[in-house]
Structure 1
Amino acid sequence: MATLFDEPQKFPLAERLRPQTLAQYQGQAHLVGKNGVISKLLQSDKVPSMILWGPPGVGKTTLARLIGNHVKTPFFTLSAINSGVKEVRQVIEKAKTRAGSILFIDEIHRFNKAQQDALLGAVETGLITLIGATTENPSFEVISALQSRCQIYILQPLSPETLVEMLENAQKQDEWLKKLNIKLKETEALLNLSGGDARRLLNLFELVVSAFPANQDPLVITNEWVLSTAQQKTVRYDKTGEQHYDIVSAFIKSIRGSDPNAAVYWLARMIEGGEDPKFIARRLVISASEDIGNANPTALVIATNCFQAVTMVGYPEAEIILAQATTYLAASAKSNASYMSIKKAKELVRKKGDLPIPLHLRNAPTQLMREQGYGKGYQYAHDYPHNFSPQEYLPEAIAHTTLYDPGQNARENELRKRLKNLWQDKYGY
């Protein structure tokens, strides 16, 4: 039976609909809206080097190209997957003919330290304006020297409303789709399978439209039709990062839920998909502190050692180390008390501002400071029985505030008991 697949398009739908102007760009209003920071920069024609950080398919590459079009300067593109120091230096040489040329590096987190170092001089002198795109936290994957020379802008996941609007616009703008009588009856399956990735959404939409018989009219898009057409795609894990956010979410939630069986299954999905072992190990380190904390402090030690070990070993043996750490963390007692304590503390800081530090806790390196009372009355804990003095350590305005509430587990119950003995009724332990 003939289908619309028999009318192949030269380029994928997402590429055909790639915005050519900022006015056509959808989403990221905090960056490119009327009062967006990048909009204001473009109005002044002053574009700094920047890192665009966000999940796949939210418009990082498109935004970089639109910036290049707006400032009308030479625009060079490199992919960190297949480029190295040699290619970086070639671009820098070309840029010498016109300072301020833009170099866009996709997946910059895949550049190693030496490759990133090669950019520093040209970025610092302004010879090139660097725009890097990454799905990974720049704090971990971009060297500090390069970070300090770039503004970091965070691109948010696209809302369901924005994604549906993209589908509707596609039917109005694409020359091929405009010829078809498409009825977009249901969108849930399209949105779920695309995982918030606009590029994936548009290409999936094209796929399910193409699967209709050539003589059918109208083409009614339902959840059932989408799932039946794209069924084989639902079990894929894209090692370039297209799906790893959903998989790692299931992985971490399985550890948090104390299910080592589910956790090791999701681990296997990531390993089979070719996920970077350091990416997995880094999430284990975070989980060890966020979800286990003082219920079992050894978990953080094991997770940290896991990260170091997989860095030294690599695949395939690294999967054994990852499995050991994963099952240990999943089987461990859980507590998010430390995680909650820093959240409460940060909220208190934002609410109360910079409260004055009690004089007795201040450092007093000079005579003038000592005369002002800095350090006066401080009680050195080790000079007192049990190495403890019940002096006040918080600013006066928030004295007696409890931020750390030990979890209900064997280890933290011991901590609670000790704190109760020391502080009596002060903090409600």
Structure 2
Amino acid sequence: MRKSKSAAPSLFQPPEGLKPLAERMRPATLDEMVGQRRLLSPGSALRRAVESGHVHSMILWGPPGCGKTTLALLLAKYSDAEFRAISAVLSGLPDVRLVLADAESRFNEGRRTVLFVDEVHRFNKAQQDAFLPHIERGSILFVGATTENPSFELNSALLSRCRVHVLEAVGVDDIVDALRRALADEERGLGRQPLKISEANLRLIAQAADGDVRRGLTLLEIAAELATGEDDHITEATLAQVLADRTRRFDKQGEQFYDQISALHKSVRSSNPDAALYWLTRMLDGGCDPVYLARRMTRMAVEDVGLADPRALQMAIEAWDTYERLGSPEGDLALAQLVIYLASCAKSNAAYLAFNQAKSDVREHGTQEVPMHLRNAPTKLMKELGYGTGYQYDHDAEGGIALEQTGFPDAMGERVYYEPVERGLEIKLKEKLDKLRAARRQARGEE
């Protein structure tokens, strides 16, 4: 019988002291985990399953440093299963097959394997399908970790065999707890060093971690190294070096990107300039292409502001042009001014709705003939065929509008698509169009 890879001699394990602080301080029990109270609070369904060892295949969806790998390790520990990990970034289908064959052999010996697949969304459909028969037989407890929305990135066959658990970014208070534990732990942490750090500076590190416990521990470890030889005191000056040029979490193509652009658009629509400015700044800070933001805000100007304030579209084009000319950081201010104006001015989606209704009619009624009176008649033949017959020149009509004349194909009759709202400039447009439409109905004998 083939020998399990778990029998590899321990001398290949790196000495504990060579491991980063974040790895040394990885929780060894569920009680040591910070954050994720919704999923892992005492008495919760997942915690009961883990503690009983009756766990299921699952997808762990959450941001970096929230505990996905740690939870997978604990699943193996509590269920007395072998832990194997592969990365979809580094592994191909041959690697997957090798690990699965090893798990199958171990299963035949009476022991299960927790197979942790990091960045599982990077595997293609064929690679994802390779896990399916093994999940069904129970030879592996599949744990896939992803920072992307599984609904979009994983195939339905894999999702149907796994439970999706959503993990959240870890809060500042919880990260502070993890940092305190690392400072006090003499065996795995920094407890043997006489480090001194104020509560305020500890909180600064936790805030800079931006929801990522691993990142917070890494920052603390760097700060501790800089403080050595300087009275072992982690001061504000020390942190100024450690926390310089830190970045916030942002994914230019992933879930966070689309969530944030949605938040920006909806804040503009809700006439909340402060929230809109915040989300614009968050996206700029995260490295989003400012030209993309200019394009999206131009769309907001026509979709959500519309004819309630036609100046919004002009301002959007000008802000876009200004950014193209100046670039960052000077041009960023033009985008900031634009988002404040878009959120502050009157809103109307009446033109947007009218356009959608017109598109619906075009699809429903097909290729309708242009009425004869609306056709152009540049030649004698076309005039003889009746092109332009009955057309009334509006400038010659009383009031400058030929009220009896329709502008729609005969088979459709008159339509009303555009219904101005009583906000901004559309108040005036509504007054005018209401009177004009009523006069047309009366002229056609409909009233």
Task: Give the shorter-chain TM-score range.
Answer: 0.5 to 0.7
Runs of 4+ more than 6 Å apart: 236-241, 262-265, 290-293, 330-338, 384-388, 409-415
| Per-residue deviation, 1:65 | 0.5
Does the 8 Å CA contact 1:251/1:266 hold for their aligned counterparts? Answer: no
Does the 8 Å CA contact 1:293/1:336 hold for their aligned counterparts? Answer: no
Does the 8 Å CA contact 1:51/1:151 hold for their aligned counterparts? Answer: yes
Q: How does 1:174-193 map to 2 (within 5 A)?
A: 174-175=186-187, 177-179=190-192, 180-186=194-200, 187-193=202-208
Distance 1:97 1:209 in 2: 45
Taking structure 1 as reference, are residues 110 and 406 closer, same or farther at Cα in structure 2, changes over 3 Å only?
Answer: farther
Structure 2 residue matching 1:51: 3-state secondary structure: strand
Does the 8 Å CA contact 1:102/1:130 hold for their aligned counterparts? Answer: yes
Letter in 2 for 1:138: P
Does the 8 Å CA contact 2:226/2:238 hold for their aligned counterparts? Answer: no
| Aligned pair partner of 1:216 in 226, 231, 250 | 231
Q: How does 1:16-165 map to 2 (within 5 A)?
A: 16-99=24-107, 100-165=112-177
2:304 matched residue in structure 1: 295
Query: Which ranges in structure 1 are unaligned for 5 or more consecutive residues?
Result: 1-7, 272-279, 298-326, 339-383, 389-404, 422-429
| Per-residue deviation, 1:49 | 0.9
Does the 8 Å CA contact 1:292/1:333 hold for their aligned counterparts? Answer: yes
Taking structure 1 as reference, are residues 27 and 168 closer, same or farther at Cα in structure 2, changes over 3 Å only?
Answer: same
| Per-residue deviation, 1:53 | 0.8
1:201 matched residue in structure 2: 216
| Per-residue deviation, 1:27 | 1.8
Does the 8 Å CA contact 2:250/2:286 hold for their aligned counterparts? Answer: no
Distance 1:407 1:295 in 2: 14
Distance 1:336 1:35 in 2: 48
1:344 matched residue in structure 2: none
Report how many residues are paired: 307
| Per-residue deviation, 1:81 | 0.7
| Per-residue deviation, 1:185 | 3.5
Letter in 1 for 2:218: N
Taking structure 1 as reference, are residues 154 and 410 closer, same or farther at Cα in structure 2, changes over 3 Å only?
Answer: farther
Letter in 1 for 2:160: S
Distance 1:21 1:185 in 2: 26
Output the aligned Cα RMSD: 4.9
| Per-residue deviation, 1:136 | 1.0
Letter in 1 for 2:287: R
Percent identity among equivalent residues? 30
Distance 1:336 1:66 in 2: 52
Letter in 1 for 2:241: S
Letter in 1 for 2:226: A
Structure 2 residue matching 1:27: 3-state secondary structure: coil
Distance 2:428 2:33 in 1: 54
Distance 2:433 2:120 in 1: 48
Taking structure 1 as reference, are residues 229 and 157 closer, same or farther at Cα in structure 2, changes over 3 Å only?
Answer: closer
Taking structure 1 as reference, are residues 284 and 70 closer, same or farther at Cα in structure 2, changes over 3 Å only?
Answer: farther
2:398 matched residue in structure 1: none
Does the 8 Å CA contact 1:167/1:202 hold for their aligned counterparts? Answer: yes
Distance 2:427 2:215 in 1: 46
- Flag the structure with larger Rg: 2
| Per-residue deviation, 1:239 | 7.9
2:444 matched residue in structure 1: none
Does the 8 Å CA contact 1:237/1:269 hold for their aligned counterparts? Answer: no
Does the 8 Å CA contact 2:66/2:212 hold for their aligned counterparts? Answer: yes
| Per-residue deviation, 1:194 | 1.2
Does the 8 Å CA contact 1:295/1:411 hold for their aligned counterparts? Answer: no
* CA deviation string 1:198-242 (max 9, x = no partner): 00001101111211241515x1443x53123331x425989899x
Distance 1:91 1:413 in 2: 71
Taking structure 1 as reference, are residues 28 and 387 closer, same or farther at Cα in structure 2, changes over 3 Å only?
Answer: same
Question: What is the TM-score normalised by the length of structure 2?
Answer: 0.56
Letter in 1 for 2:44: G
| Aligned pair partner of 2:242 in 204, 226, 229 | 229
